Amino acid sequence: MFQDAMQQSGRAPLTLEEAARRFRHLGEETGALRVSLQATERERQAALERANVQATLGRDLRQEMDGLRSSLTSEIHDARDKLAWAMKTVEAQVLASRASLDGLVRSIAQPQGSIGGQAATLYLDLLELSLTGVLSDDVSIDPWTAGTYDPGRRAIGRDWPATACTMIGTARMRNLRHLLERALAEDVPGDFIETGVWRGGACIYARGILAAHGDATRRVFVADSFRGLPEPDAEAFPADVGDQHSTYQQLAINQEQVAENFRRYGLLDERVVFLEGWFKDTLPTAPIERLAVLRLDGDMYESTIQALDALYDKVSPGGYVIVDDYILGPCARAIEDFRAARGITASLEPVDGAAVWWQVPR
C-alpha cells in the first residue's frame, strides 16, 4: 500500500531502509526540538525570575526613596523651625539694641542739670516720635528699602520716611535736642539754622525745643533750595563728581509744604525764617548775626563747604556745629578741608555712625 501511494504521487517508491533512516532522522529532529523547547522554557523561567527580582528591587528602592523623602521632609521642617527661631532671636536682639539705643540717647538728651520740667520732656519725646515717623510705623520711600518700616534703621536715620517730617532718625534728633538744650542752659547766644531741611522736621523740632523751654527770642532759620540738591559742579567741586542726589525727586520739597508742616504742629510764627534758594546765593547775605547751633545737612561737598564758609564765623564761642552727613565721603572731605584751612582742632564727637559734631572753642 505504501508503495502504491508512492507510485500514485509520481515519486520513486521508498525502500524500507530509506524509510527507517528518515524515521530515525525525524526522531532525532524531534528530540533536538524538545531540547531546544526545554532551553527556551528555562530561559523564560530565568527571565521571569529576573523580572520578579527587579520588581522586588523596585519596591525596595521605592520604599527606600519614600523613607528618604520623609526623613528629608522632616529635616527641612526642622531647619525651617530653627531658621524661624534664629530670625526671632535676631529680631529680639534688634529690638533690644534699639531699646538700649533709646536708653542711650535718652540719657544723652537729659544730662544732669537739664532744663525744662516733665511736661517739656514728655512734649519733646512725643514731638520726636511723630516727626521721625516712629509713632506711626511710617514706611520708607528711599530706593533701597522702599515700602518697609524698620525700627532699627529709623533709630539711626538710614531711610527716607514716606510721610514723616524728618529722615535723620531718633539718635540725631536727640543729639540736636541735647546740644540746643545745652546752648540754652549755658546761655550761648544766637539762633539755630539748618542748611538742608527736606520736609523741615529737624527745624520743627528745634522750634519746639525753644518753645518748650520758654525761649522768647531765638529764631530758627530754614535754609533750602526747596527743589532738591544741585547738579554736581565738577570743575569747582571735583569731590562731587558722580553725585546722584540731584536725581532724586523725593528730596525736592517745596517751601509751602514745609511751612504747612510747621503750621500743623502749631510752630509756625515770625521766628521761623525761610531762606529759599541755593546756599551759595542765600547764605552769604542771610540776616543772621549769631548762631548757637549750626546744623549742616546738604549731603554734598559743595553744600557743606558753602554753608561753612558763609556761617561758621557766626557761630558763638561755646556754640555747636553738627554735621549730619559725615558718613558721606564728599561731605567728610569738605569738613576736613575746612577744619584744616581754619586750623580747627576741636574733637569731632560721633552721634550714630553717620553724624558728628564739635563745639566751637570759647
Ligand X SMILES: C[S@@+](CC[C@H](N)C(=O)[O-])C[C@H]1O[C@@H](n2cnc3c(N)ncnc32)[C@H](O)[C@@H]1O
Binding site for ligand X (CB under 6 A): 166-168, 194, 196-198, 201-202, 224-225, 228-230, 251, 278-279, 297-300, 302-303
C-alpha cell at position 121:
520732656
The distance of closest approach from Cβ of residue 252 to ligand X in the complex, given in angstroms and rounded to an integer, is: 6
Is the CB of 201 or the CB of 208 nearer to ligand X?
201
CA distance 124 to 122: 6
The distance of closest approach from Cβ of residue 71 to ligand X in the complex, given in angstroms and rounded to an integer, is: 54
Q: Could you tell me which of 274, 133, 302, 284 has the C-alpha nearest to residue 203? A: 274
Q: Could you tell me which of 311, 157, 116 has the C-alpha nearest to residue 221? A: 311
Q: Quick check: 202 and 194 in contact, CB under 8 A? A: yes
CA distance 79 to 271: 60
C-alpha cell at position 207:
522750634
The distance of closest approach from Cβ of residue 258 to ligand X in the complex, given in angstroms and rounded to an integer, is: 9
Is the CB of 169 or the CB of 190 nearer to ligand X?
169
Residue nearest to ligand X (CB): 196
The distance of closest approach from Cβ of residue 135 to ligand X in the complex, given in angstroms and rounded to an integer, is: 16
Is the CB of 233 or the CB of 318 nearer to ligand X?
233
Is the CB of 225 or the CB of 359 nearer to ligand X?
225
Q: Cβ-count burial of 119 within 10 angstroms (0-12 exposed, 13-18 middle, 19+ buried)? A: exposed
The distance of closest approach from Cβ of residue 217 to ligand X in the complex, given in angstroms and rounded to an integer, is: 24
In which region does residue 325 sit, left (phi positive, over 0), alpha (psi from -120 to 50) or beta (all else)?
alpha
Is the CB of 167 or the CB of 180 nearer to ligand X?
167
